[in-house]
Structure 1
Amino acid sequence: MNAPTLVRAPRVLVGFLVFVGLVGAVIGSLGAPLITAVAEAYGVSLAASQWTLTIALLAGSVTTPVLGRLGSGPRRRTVVLVMLAVEVVGSLLTVIPLPFAFLLVGRALQGSGIGLIVLMMAVARDHLDEQRAARTIGLLSVASTAGIGIGYPLSGLLTDLAGVRAAYGLGLVITAAALVAAVFALPQAPDRPSSRLDVRGAILLAIALPALLLAIGEIGDHPAPATALLAAALLLLIGWTFLEVRTGSPLVDIRLLRHPAVAAANLVMLVGGVGMYLLFSLITRYVQTPAAAGYGFGLSSFQAGLVLVPFSLLGFVAGRLIPALRLGARSLLAASTAVVLAAFVLFAVARSHLVEPILAIGILGFGVGAFSAAMPVVILAVTPAAETASAMSVNAVVRSVGFSTGSALGGLILATHTTGVFPRESGYGAAAWIGVAATAATLLIVAVLPLKPVAPERFRGRG
């Protein structure tokens, strides 16, 4: 087996890896600001148009663990090139004037490549020195969320100038650029023994995860069927867990979660993710509410996208700072969670002037960036290099569930405070204080759970 080799041009590789991470974030965010424009352009309902966002996120949640497993072996370069090509094909389908069904297929193909970010983390760990790899992995973690601030304003501006297909054309340009860059910049993976893909586990997860995320998203509008679907999804995930434990070459090595630090980090990611996306969704919705509702600022999609720029910029600043700090895992996660808590409190008590939500989302961006950069520090400290992609794919799925739950929770709270078209402003206050409670609970979890890394050799000896 060949040992990992350091590349001769590390800056080029780092730039490529971060670019691919940003591509995934932009692709994932393309659906949100275009929902109304798609409904008008294709003559479909807003509920149907919402699927242009949902189907991409669902596809990403399913393919992420599969890509994590495929990328753990020597076929990683081939997997990345194929998935980028799939994204390009999907992007073409969103640009070509075809019926709405083809747009959904295109968005699903685009979303299937969101999980490539975990492979970029594995590349960084294999081909960069330890210090540079840590910084790059932190940036990649931040890119998956902070990159949203790039996709929102650009897609909103392109829609205003040239229509919805021009906005989707942004996805075609960046995915094609990523594919070309990968041909030249992506090194071959180390010649590790390849493992068989757990097809049964992949199929079961492909059913359970979309069911779970759909149930979370619909529980406010259709509580009875969503609750039944949620119960079924949880049963399927329990069955999938037992299957993975008993499989020789599992899709996800569940044994990695037996390490207290890894299990604790994923629990913190789940609970913290609920609060983070709750505030994100509240602010973006609040600033677009017309002033005629008695609050809000009536911003357009492009203007609302500009509000997210501080979120992205401060998220990247945090991503650059965190790996350089010589703090323990508990201190990193506690500090970043405290920043998110401060953003919640600010939005809860002050939002009558536009500068206040902008300041709150900037603080949130810094907290999310710091939190995202700290998470790999905890997990990878006790994870073998060969399992980097698999371990981080689990964390990515946990984050997706947490974000989806936060989004659904925000919609549910606002729905209970709605009597006309728009929610009463009191709904935003109630949701913000619930977010304060959820974020405070995350701080408590960070304080009591075992987050101190244990030597990988000791961990492997347990099982």
Structure 2
Amino acid sequence: MTASGTTPAATPQRRMVPLVPALMFIALVVAVVGSLGAPLITSVAGEFDVSLAAAQWTLTAPLLVGAVATPVLGRLGTGPRRRQVILATLAVVVVGSLLTVVPPSFGWLLAGRVAQGAGLGLTALMMGVARDHLPGERSGPTIALLSVASTVGIGVGYPLAGLLTDVAGLRAAYGLGLLITAVALAAAWWSVPQPPAGRASAVDVPGATLLGGGLIALLLTISRTTVWTDHPALAAALLAVAAALLGAWVHRERRSPAPLVDLALLRNPAVAGANAVMLLGGIGMYLLLTLVTRYVQTPRSAGYGFGVDVFVAGLVLVPFSALGFAGGKLVPPLRKRLAPATVLAVGGAAVLAALILFALTRGRLWLSFAVMGVLGLGVGVFSAAIPAAILAVTPTEETSSAMSFNQVVRSVGFSVGSALGGLTLAAATPTGATFPTDTGYTTAAWLGAGAMAVTVVTALTLRQASRRDRRDPAARSSLLG
């Protein structure tokens, strides 16, 4: 039985066998492709004779598109055409991947990356498929691992892209994206079933426009750190625009008969708390991820760092991905002993430990591998525990929408973490110098540790609120409306 009291829809046997690996593969692919631009920025700048700032858009643009597409796809995923939406989105991603392999110009490459960004909204739909078509004892662990894959998959593409670029050039690295997205489309065609009958979904187009505009203004402001350093007035104006658009969106959603996101769910402490924890936790997670990858590539002439190439820097992320999946596997047995909010606190504490370790000692390359392993373990536990906290009080038919909102919150947290790290290191860079001082990394790590400490406290507070809610059924009913 599901949270809404319905039984998962029967799925034809020919689809049941490959369904779970297909869902996992699709979630991993969209995460890998979305982050594929990170290790290739320098190569793109050289290949197309553009500035590094321009090449950076091959990473920024798909992330912006993904943030806007996620809530729209999440709402479409609640309706009767979820399978068609998944296939159409993956087809767009495949076309975008083709454009990145054979681009006649930088503009076509950027267009391909924009199309690839649409796939970042698919993870929430994979969760909806799992909840609808898998038995309860399998759907929960599968959804948890889908959440893990959408995060730790970032560390899978980095070393592969770096190796392929070193061996065969830029187009070979993007060719990897074309290959795996084509396979993902084929897997979805074979495995993803139709949703249960009797569902309806309508996209609130004005609401989607307000949310999309607000998210673009917000993420542009916090992801482009040079805006704050070079044009602070513009940055403040963009934040004001974002606040106005998002405020108008909330006002509309609360009165819409078919809201893009059911904001009434946020009245429940479990849902609101889990999203707050995801926002704060995302800041600390991504801040450390960017700090370590930048630190290990800094040449020794700066007085610190190891001067490794892109491929070795990618290998540093392998423990992050491997222990991330291991951490996700730990969540089901942990949940038999601990409340979901407590498991969140455990994951947050591991990320906090990784930040403190990096702040205190990083003088050996092997310590970077160790820090990434501890971070991956914490992120795996954290990411796998989030869906359980949210879906415990979410109707089955709202799974895709609720988790898509959480994915947007995660994206904002990641962007804030990346921007916080970048601004801190920029402030620690002496005038005329290329690299920040070593103390800049220490300061940034302690800022991330502060964010994670607040995350752990928030998770424990959520645990106490959940206990009170269970003791007071009347209060629970009022919260659920």
TM-score, normalised to structure 2, is 0.93
Change (3 A) 1:130 1:215: same
Alignment-derived partner of residue 427 in structure 1: 440
Secondary structure of 2:128's counterpart equals helix
- Give the residue type in structure 2 aligned to 1:163: G
Q: Which amino acid aligns with 1:289?
A: T
Please list, as runs of the form range in 1=range in 2, the aligned pairs for 1:128-147 lying within 5 A after superposition.
128-147=134-153
For residues 187-240 of structure 1, what are the alpha-carbon distances to aligned partners after superposition, in whole Å with 9 as ceiling and x for unaligned? 111113212211111111121101100011235433221121012101110110
Secondary structure, aligned partner of 1:204:
helix
Q: Please give the alpha-carbon distance, in whole angstroms, between the structure 2 residues aligned to 1:115 and 1:383.
A: 19
Corresponding residue pairs, total = 463
2:420 corresponds in structure 1 to 409
CA distance in 1, matches of 2:59, 2:427: 24
Aligned residues: CA RMSD: 1.7
Q: In structure 2, what is the equivalent of residue 258 of structure 1?
A: 267
The 5 Å alignment of 1:36-51 reads 36-51=42-57
Moved more, 223-232 or 84-93: 223-232
- From 349, 362, 365, the equivalent of 2:376 is 365
> Equivalent residue for 2:131?
125
Residue 246 (structure 1) aligns with: 255
1:213 to 192, 214, 219: 219
Query: 1:226/1:451 Cα in 2 relative to 1: closer, same or farther (>3 Å)?
Result: farther
Name 2:10's counterpart in structure 1: 5
Q: In 2 relative to 1, CA 132–226 (structure 1 residues): closer, same or farther, beyond 3 Å?
A: same
Q: Note the residue ranges of structure 2 that are not aligned, 5 or more in a row.
A: 1-5
- Mapped contact 2:267–2:479 kept (Cα < 8 A): no
Q: Which 10-residue stretch deviates more, 197-206 or 3-12?
A: 3-12
Task: Quote the Cα distance in structure 2 between the aligned partners of 1:183 and 1:190.
Answer: 17
The aligned runs of 1:308-387 (5 Å cut-off) are 308-325=317-334, 326=336, 327-387=338-398
- For each residue in 1:154-178, what CA deviation from the matched residue of structure 2 results, as whole angstroms up to 9, or x when unmatched? 1111111111111111110011001
Taking structure 1 as reference, are residues 10 and 135 closer, same or farther at Cα in structure 2, changes over 3 Å only? farther
The match for 2:461 among 442, 445, 448 is 448
- Output the amino acid matched with 1:239: A
Measure how far apart 1:461 and its partner are.
Answer: 7.7
State the identity %: 59
Q: Would the aligned equivalents of 1:65 and 1:251 in 2 still touch at CA under 8 Å?
A: yes
Structure 1 Cα separation of the partners of residues 393 and 7 of structure 2: 22
Gaps of 5+ in 1: none
Displacement of 1:6 in angstroms is 4.3
1:98 aligns with 2:107: no
Tell me how far apart the structure 2 counterparts of residues 437 and 263 of structure 1 sit (CA, whole Å).
21
Q: Hey, what's the Cα distance between the residues in 2 that align with 1:332 and 1:181?
A: 32
Q: Could you say which residue in structure 1 is the equivalent of 2:234?
A: 225
> For 1:396, which of 407, 414, 432 is the aligned residue?
407
User: What are the residue-to-residue correspondences of 1:140-179 with 2, within 5 Å?
Assistant: 140-179=146-185
The answer to whether the 8 A contact 2:40-2:162 is kept is yes
Q: 1:300 to 1:249 in 2, by over 3 A?
A: same
Secondary structure of the residue aligned to 2:434 is coil
Q: CA deviation at 1:460?
A: 7.6
Between the aligned partners of 1:456 and 1:159, the Cα distance in structure 2 is 60
Cα distance in 1 between the residues matched to 2:466 and 2:398: 19
Pick the aligned partner of 1:17 from 10, 15, 23. 23
- Check whether the contact 2:93–2:119 (CA below 8 A) recurs between aligned residues: yes
Counterpart CA distance in 2 for 1:461 and 1:351 is 47
CA distance in 1, matches of 2:424, 2:476: 45
Q: 1:28 offset after TM fit, Å?
A: 1.1
> Partners in 1 of 2:374 and 2:115 — Cα distance?
33
1:282 and 2:295 are equivalent in the alignment? no
| 1:108 corresponding residue in structure 2 | 114
Q: 1:402 is aligned with what amino acid? A: G
Aligned letter for 1:353?
R
Distance 1:128 1:253 in 2: 24
